[in-house]
């Protein structure tokens, strides 16, 4: 009996990590499917700003949220709305950077699940029918072993009970990293980089498009155009963080 109990304990430790995936602090004795300590959980969901409904930027408390903000006034977006889990800073920024490392798929999925549980009504406001992650180019995906946005989307799809369509859109052109580019370069970089419709139909569907970080919105816009060209009814964007 004792052998059986210790075997079960060992399996339990494999299934439920004993330490927080983010800060490595020991977890409470009761296993939690989230694998994040209470302090990291509350830091991840503590976005205290009002946000622009068009581009997910932080805005002042008395600014109207429906018509766009100073930051997106000159942008032409074809997605209907944008929302975020938080600002690209602090614990959320650390978590997003960690998600890109090998073996961190479970952290990305966990964050997606936490986000879905926390912001269910807001995420479902546009009545989406499927969740689609922004794809990596196949070569980049092969190198990394997974697409962190797809892992976040998988966690969201479990929490929101919505189907995930990982192949609704493909990145047909590898694009250089955008972190050191100007806004204009970012826009040029992603034009025509995505194509939809070859592997899964999106016709007449309302789509919740998931990415990790939104800066200018150029990537979300390029994917949205590909999805709309393939017949999608509507695209709404949800990102882990706005930078």
106, 34 contact by CB (below 8 A): no
Instruction: Report CA torsion sign: 91, 97, 101, 103.
Output: positive
Strand order in the sheet with 234-242: 82-87, 234-242, 206-214, 130-133
Contact region with Zn ion (CB under 5 A), list: 5-13, 48-56, 161-169, 220-228: 48-56
- Find the part of the chain contacting Zn ion (CB under 5 A) among 47-55, 94-102, 129-137, 153-161: 47-55
Is residue 54 close enough to count as binding Zn ion by CB under 5 A?
A: yes
Of 122 and 139, which has the nearer Cβ to Zn ion? 122
Binding mask 5-44 for Zn ion (x = CB under 5 A): ---------------x-xx-------------x--x----
Cβ density class 4-43: b for 16+ within 10 Å, e for less: eeeeeeeeeeeeeeeebbbeeeebeeeeeebbbbeebbeb
Per rule CB under 5 A, is residue 72 in the interface with Zn ion? yes
Residue 52 within binding range of Zn ion, rule CB under 5 A: yes
Supply the minimum distance, in Å, between the C-beta of residue 43 and Zn ion. 8
The residues of the shown chain that bind Zn ion, judged by CB under 5 A, are 20, 22-23, 37, 40, 52, 54-55, 57, 68-69, 72
């Amino acid at each position: 009996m004792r052998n059986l109990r210790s075997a079960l304990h060992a399996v339990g430790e494999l299934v439920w990590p004993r330490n927080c995936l983010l800060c490595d602090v020991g977890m409470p004795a009761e296993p939690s499917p989230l694998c994040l300590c209470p302090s990291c959980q509350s830091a991840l969901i503590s976005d205290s700003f009002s946000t622009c409904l068009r581009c997910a930027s932080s805005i002042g408390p008395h600014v109207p949220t429906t018509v766009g903000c100073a930051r997106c006034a000159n942008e032409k977006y074809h997605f209907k709305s944008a929302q975020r889990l938080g600002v690209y800073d602090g614990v959320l920024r650390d978590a997003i950077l960690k998600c890109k490392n090998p073996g961190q798929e479970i952290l990305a999925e966990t964050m997606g699940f936490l986000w879905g549980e926390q912001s269910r009504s807001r995420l479902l406001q546009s009545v989406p029918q499927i969740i689609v992650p922004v794809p990596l180019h196949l070569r980049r995906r092969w190198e990394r072993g997974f697409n962190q946005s797809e892992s976040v989307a998988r966690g969201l799809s479990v929490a929101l009970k919505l189907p995930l369509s990982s192949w609704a859109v493909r990145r047909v052109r590898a694009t250089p990293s955008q972190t050191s580019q100007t806004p204009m370069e970012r826009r040029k970089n992603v034009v025509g980089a995505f194509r939809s419709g070859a592997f899964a139909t999106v016709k007449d569907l309302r789509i919740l498009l998931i990415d990790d970080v939104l800066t200018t919105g150029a990537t979300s816009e390029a994917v949205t155009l590909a999805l709309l060209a393939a017949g999608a009814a509507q695209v709404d964007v949800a990102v882990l963080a706005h930078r």
